[in-house]
Amino acid sequence: MSRETILEPDLPIVDPHHHLWDRPAALIAALPPPKHGFEHVTRRVPRYLLDELMADMKRGHNVIATVYMECGSMYRRSASPAMRPVGETEFVNGVAAMSASGLYGDVLACAGIVGHADCNLGAGVREVLEAHIAAGGGRFRGIRQSASSDPDKDVLGPLARQEGGLYMSAKFREGFAQLAPLGLSFDAWMLEPQLPDLIDLAKAFPDTQIVLDHVGTPLGIASYAGKREERFPIWKANILKLAELPNVAVKLGGLAMVFPGFDSFMSDPPTSSEALAAEWKPYIETCIEAFGPERGMFESNFPVDIGSCDYDVLWNAFKVLTKGASAAEKTALYSGTATKIYRLDL
């Protein structure tokens, strides 16, 4: 992809959502034929560890710290199923320690860690959460448990792993109730039609900090093809309801994935930051207006979002969208909100 001039190169950025993984050749070979965008991205980026992350962060933007988001990496092979995700926190805490050594530059990669635990364990999930905290070296901040589901399995492709209604389940909520007493937050990934479930969950647990990932993942593929604009008012109404709840924040990004069905995904030649900003503007501006900069944070979602752009182009697109914002608003959106929500010591 061609390089762009970096916009506002001195603006400090805390990237609150990225992944690390290493997909061996055997795993890549076992993937289904690449008919869904997810397979294309996984095949293109089979390895994304500290070196690859640092290379992206050195492309010109002033990234000062990051928050790691769970993605099923490096689970403990020998542990019980419930405890296997603790291996991911152990792995990422090691990466964070490498970064904190200063040998790789001044960026504090993985300064916060969001892992995975299955709230369907009910009250029993507390043992898993405590193991994450112990493994996190003071960096563990919360969990993510995806609820993403749709009756049309082609929407999620290889990520179609569960039925709907997870956040409404009594057993899930029994486990979810363990988060706030331990001072932990919850990242929610779900699809746009599922947003009412998150509204209900956030109302039921007003003391738990919830972060909605990827502006709620608008849909424009499979059975939703051609319906994205038709569904925009439904998405917006639910975003406005969520924004009324002070325990909910929103991540501004994820729109470079396949799910919204934008023309920019896997385009050849790649889409410019100006064109990306035009595509994403209705969703990003609605969220900022609804939640305010103090509860909104830009995210890279890398390397997943490489399906539409490189790391530098993605942050340029965000900066195009905020060119009229005040200095205080930019500080909140690019670093302040993420630092506050994930309680980072920078």
Distance of CA 75 to CAs 19, 22, 52, 123, 178, Å? 14, 12, 21, 22, 22
At residue 272, does pLDDT exceed 90? yes
Q: What is the CATH number of the domain that holds 22?
A: 3.20.20.140
Q: Is residue 1 part of a domain?
A: no
Q: Is residue 6 part of a domain?
A: no
Q: What's the whole-number mean pLDDT along residues 81-86? A: 98
Does pTM top 0.85 for this prediction? yes
Q: What's the whole-number mean pLDDT along residues 8-14? A: 98
What is the span of the domain harbouring residue 25? 12-341
pLDDT at 27: 65
Cβ–Cβ under 8 Å, residues 144 and 89: no
Task: Tally the domains of the chain.
Answer: 1
Q: What's the whole-number mean pLDDT along residues 54-67? A: 97
Q: How many whole angstroms separate alpha carbon 67 and alpha carbon 19?
A: 9
pLDDT at 232: 98
At residue 11, does pLDDT exceed 70? yes
Q: What's the whole-number mean pLDDT along residues 234-262? A: 98
Q: How many whole angstroms separate alpha carbon 163 and alpha carbon 112?
A: 30
Q: Is residue 3 part of a domain?
A: no
Cβ–Cβ under 8 Å, residues 256 and 305: yes
Alpha helices in the chain (DSSP H): 25-29, 37-44, 50-57, 86-100, 125-135, 170-176, 195-204, 228-243, 273-291, 311-321, 327-331, 337-341
pLDDT at 33: 63
pLDDT band, residue 1 (cuts 50/70/90): very low
Percent of the chain with pLDDT over 70: 95
Q: Is residue 150 part of a domain?
A: yes
Q: What is the pLDDT of residues 90-117, one digit of tens each?
A: 999 999 999 999 999 999 999 999 999 9
Q: Is residue 61 part of a domain?
A: yes
At residue 341, does pLDDT exceed 50? yes
pLDDT at 79: 97
Q: What's the whole-number mean pLDDT along residues 230-254? A: 98
Q: What is the pLDDT of residues 150-188, one digit of tens each?
A: 999 999 988 888 999 999 999 999 999 999 999 999 999
| Least confident among 45-49, 133-137, 278-282 | 45-49
pLDDT band, residue 45 (cuts 50/70/90): confident
| Least confident among 26-30, 230-234, 310-314 | 26-30
pLDDT at 29: 66
Q: What's the whole-number mean pLDDT along residues 195-222? A: 98
